[in-house]
Amino acid sequence: MIDPSKPRSLSEKIRHRLFGAPIASSQAHHERLGPVVGLAVFSSDSLSSVAYATEAILAVLILFATQSNLGPLNWQWPISMAIAGLIVIIAISYTQTIHAYPQGGGSYIVASDNLGFVPYGLTAGAALLIDYILTVAVSISAGTAALVSAFPILHGHLVELSLFFILIVGWANLRGVRESGTLFAIPTYGFVVAIITMLVAGAYRILTGGGAEFPTVTADPKHFGSEASYAAWFIVLRAFAAGCTALTGIEAVSDGVQTFKAPESKNAALTLRLMAILLITMFLGVGWVAMHLPSISLLKATDPGFRTVVSQIATFSFGDQSIGFYTVQISTMLILILAANTAYADFPRLCSFIARDGFLPRSLARQGDRLVFHNGIIVLSVAAAALVVYFKGELELLLPLYAIGVFTAFTLSQAGMVVHWKKLKTRGWRKSWAVNFVGAGLSFLVLCIIAYTKFSEGAWLVLILIPLVYFNFVAIKRRYTAVNKQLAVSGVIDTTNRPTTHTALLLVPRVHQGILAALDYAKLTGLDHAIAVHVSINEKSLTDTKRMWDRYGGGVPLVVLSTPYRSLIRPVLDYVDELMEENPRQMITVIVAEAVATNVFHKMLQENVAQQLKKSLGARKNVVVANVRYFLE
């Protein structure tokens, strides 16, 4: 018996080498994740935000500061505390969602189930798909920025490095869930250990007198604002909106409940709680230490001398160019790059849900031989790469687009859960209802703040893209509905326009063994009428072709078509059209003998007329092209 997992061609051998051997459907349960690996797969996006969320807050507050008055930067700490409280509320809300939807309760499913596909479920789906694409672009760009902070010589290669990292992460995910999870576990936990160690060392220096009441700030003068130019409340809201990037990725666990080992909901909820605890600890720790550094630099990634806030804390904690410094920078780079894995875990799965409901191409619902939704992985990689190229890999240009999609999804998911508890009314439902109600209200409030404060910085683009994706969903669904209606079998079947006769056209360039094999096939099919067709390009060989056909053609008539412009395809197409005009209720099969060579060089010597005919005749009704292959040594 042939083993289907064994490669049987050169292309299969290459594919198995790159992506691994096929995995049987019966082995799907072995690809499930426990909380340890699951935390690495689903929390890398959320945890990695520690590397840039505090910096994003400070980058906004500097607009309200002046070179003589840096007091507004003190608002970073209360803003960080508010964001930490929001993380707690959203995490509790999604824990309830996990238990209510153990089959996977992402925003799309929850909103569709409780609020309806149109418009709520589809809006949530569109927002999440866009957010996942941005997650990859932002995470990869941030990881590249961390690398550049450690090795400034790479400063001019932001785009090339980002594209390379997207390629690596996409390739790892095409190899399968378990392999990518194992691959990413070490960098994720390495980052957590490195950051916590850095914060402990930094806190020790601060508490023993090595810090400052407030750091001196280095920034490009054009980054400073003036108190008269900006309303304080607007700057605070902008800074809060920038820091809310720390919440991206929290929903990922609820999307992927079914990738966990049994009991799925219990393991998923445990993973979410651990993620929230680690995120809050590291986020607040970075914010507190940053406010006590002797000096801090707030330059853009494109400015000479740029260094991230985390790299400056690492320098303060361990010393510049020390082993500790490079450990933090490398682990930060790896977690930021691998944070894209959260999107790779959820984007293809979400696409499969939407495709199964008929709102995306069905090819996105199909799993590959490695038990991953490979088409979704490829789409995500291409879209993220396009964003990186368009924005030149600059993180500060991508961040304003971030979080709009995720808070739209948060709002609709939590609103859906409010309706869910109201309908279900299980024991203690009022408590659950209240938690999700607060979560929905806060999510909507944050969404409004982000949309308002970030609109002119690029958020307008996401606010346009979400409706565009939504209407694309609707158009695809309309098309599939129309196709199903056309193909439905019900009631009295209309046979008015069905073919009543069948004609075979056998193409005869010259008479040889391959043509005679095709003739045998035509006879075996029991066709009503068979015609041999010869397109005459060389008049000198026509006499010999006719003589050979009279001898070996078995009585099948030979029609000779002239070709004034030396085309092999056009005369056949015109002849087929003429036959269809004479009898529209016939089926025509165009039989083409096709040579198959095993040697690569020999294949280059053959003209593939059959494929050209298939493409040309593809739009004609009641016309089929059949290849009868003959093999050459």
pLDDT digits (tens, 9 = 90+) for 438-487: 989 988 988 898 888 888 877 888 889 999 999 999 999 999 888 888 76
Residue 44's pLDDT band (boundaries 50, 70, 90)?
confident
The pLDDT of residue 242: 85
Residue 328 neighbours by CB distance under 10 Å: 26
Task: Tell which wins on pLDDT, 305 or 536.
Answer: 536
User: Lowest-confidence range among 75-84, 197-206, 536-545, 551-560?
Assistant: 536-545
Distance CA 147, CA 143 (A): 6
The pLDDT of residue 469: 94
The pLDDT of residue 491: 60
Mean pLDDT (whole number) for 277-281:
95
Residue 133's pLDDT band (boundaries 50, 70, 90)?
very high
Distance CA 530, CA 510 (A): 17
Q: What is the 3-state secondary structure (H, E, C) of 101-151?
A: CCCCCCHHHHHHHHHCHHHHHHHHHHHHHHHHHHHHHHHHHHHHHHHHHHC
* CA 483 from centroid of its chain's CA atoms: 27
Residue 227's pLDDT band (boundaries 50, 70, 90)?
very low
The pLDDT of residue 386: 93
pLDDT of 231 above 70: no
The pLDDT of residue 30: 42
The pLDDT of residue 289: 93
Task: Tell which wins on pLDDT, 218 or 607.
Answer: 218
Highest mean pLDDT among 115-119, 498-502, 602-606: 115-119
How far apart, in Å, are the Cα atoms of 616 and each of 147, 503, 576, 590? 52, 19, 11, 12
Note the pTM of the prediction, 2 decimals. 0.74
Q: Are 149 and 395 in contact (CB under 8 A)?
A: no
Nearest to 290 by CA among 598, 69, 34, 76: 76
Highest mean pLDDT among 34-48, 69-83, 338-352, 378-392: 378-392
Residue 2's pLDDT band (boundaries 50, 70, 90)?
very low
User: Lowest-confidence range among 168-172, 190-194, 498-502?
Assistant: 498-502
The pLDDT of residue 385: 93
pLDDT of 22 above 60: no
384-413 as b/e, with b when 16 or more CB fall inside 10 Å?
bbebbeebebbbbbbbbbbbbbbbbbbbbb
Mean pLDDT (whole number) for 337-342:
78
The angle, 0 to 180 degrees and rounded to 10, between the axes of the packed helices 53-61 and 76-100 is 140
Q: And the tokens for 554?
A: 């078995």
Tokens 């920038």 belong to which residue? Answer: 242
